[in-house]
């Protein structure tokens, strides 16, 4: 099983079916906060919905198409981070993430994302990492900006968010750039 310790308090590990209850409770506690930027909240109304998401993640992992992990802070699940997609033919990883509301502002997401990027380049031998975020989601955009990703532009109407479209900002990091950063 994929487990990676970041520091004394933070680790990431492959999402598991045993996480369904705790992950759903975290989703419930952060529902109104997460709903502003994540389109799947209205379809996640019971533990079984979270369980189906986990099954999807594990299927992608088994098929080498993705790697979704839970973020652990002092042993508790506080969010999800991972490669929503692994494009092996082009050597690109697409990172997605979310963090429970009460865990924001502690540097957790920056640390786990930085670790995942290093894993993509050093272990998986990929050439590029993409992070996309809604233009108005400044907290999510702060992660790639803090990690010195290049803002590569805007995808207009990149995502349908309940009752309206939002534009996405595309951030990219190349392996050669990351080596200079670290």
| CATH number for 111 | 3.40.630.30
pLDDT at 181 over 80: no
Mark residue 177 as left, alpha or beta (left: phi above 0; alpha: psi -120 to 50; beta: remaining): alpha
Q: Give the pLDDT confidence of 134-173 residue by residue, as tens digits.
A: 999 999 999 999 999 999 999 999 999 999 999 999 999 9
Chain segment 14-53, per-residue pLDDT in tens? 999 999 999 999 999 999 988 989 999 899 999 999 999 9
d(CA 124, CA 102): 32
The confidence band for 107, taking pLDDT boundaries of 50, 70 and 90, is very high
pLDDT tens-digit map of 42-94: 999 999 999 999 999 999 999 999 999 999 999 999 999 999 999 999 999 99
Q: Give me the pLDDT at residue 180, please.
A: 83
Are residues 172 and 150 in contact, defined by beta-carbon separation less than 8 angstroms?
yes
Please return the burial class of 42, using the count of CB atoms within 10 Å of its CB with bins 0-12, 13-18 and 19+: exposed
**Does residue 12 form part of some domain?**
yes
Mean pLDDT, residues 120-146 taken together: 97
Domain around 35: 3-132
Q: Please check whether residue 104 lies inside any domain of the structure.
A: yes
Query: What pLDDT, on the 0 to 100 scale, is given for residue 1?
Result: 67
Instruction: Give domain status of residue 29, yes or no.
Output: yes
In a domain, 181, yes or no: no
Q: Please indicate, yes or no, if residue 87 is contained in any of the structural domains.
A: yes
Q: In this structure, is residue 151 part of a structural domain?
A: no
pLDDT at 178 over 70: yes
Cα 30 from Cα 21, distance rounded (Å)? 14
Q: Does 173 map to a domain?
A: no
CA dist., res. 90 & res. 128, Å (int): 8
Q: Please report whether residue 40 resides in a domain.
A: yes
Q: Is 169 exposed, middle or buried (0-12, 13-18, 19+ CB in 10 A)?
A: buried
Domain count for the chain, please give it: 1
Q: Which two tokens stand for residue 120?
A: 């993509």
82 and 96 Cβ atoms separated by less than 8 Å: yes
Q: With contact defined as beta carbons under 8 Å apart, do 92 and 130 qualify?
A: yes
């Amino acid at each position: 099983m994929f487990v990676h310790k970041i520091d004394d308090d933070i680790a990431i590990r492959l999402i598991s079916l045993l996480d369904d209850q705790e992950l759903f409770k975290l989703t419930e506690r952060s529902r109104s906060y997460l709903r502003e930027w994540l389109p799947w909240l209205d379809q996640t109304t019971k533990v079984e919905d979270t369980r189906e998401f986990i099954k999807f993640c594990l299927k992608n992992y088994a098929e080498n198409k993705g790697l979704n992990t839970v973020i652990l802070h002092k042993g508790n699940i506080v969010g999800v981070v991972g490669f929503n997609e692994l494009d092996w033919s082009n050597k690109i990883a697409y990172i997605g993430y979310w963090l429970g509301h009460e865990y924001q502002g502690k540097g957790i997401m920056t640390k786990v994302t930085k670790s995942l990027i290093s894993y993509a380049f050093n272990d998986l031998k990929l050439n590029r990492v993409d992070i996309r975020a809604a233009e108005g989601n400044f907290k999510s955009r702060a992660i790639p900006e803090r990690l010195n990703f290049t803002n590569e532009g805007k995808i207009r109407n990149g995502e349908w968010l309940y009752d309206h479209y939002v534009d996405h900002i595309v951030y990219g990091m190349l392996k050669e750039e990351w080596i200079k950063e670290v």
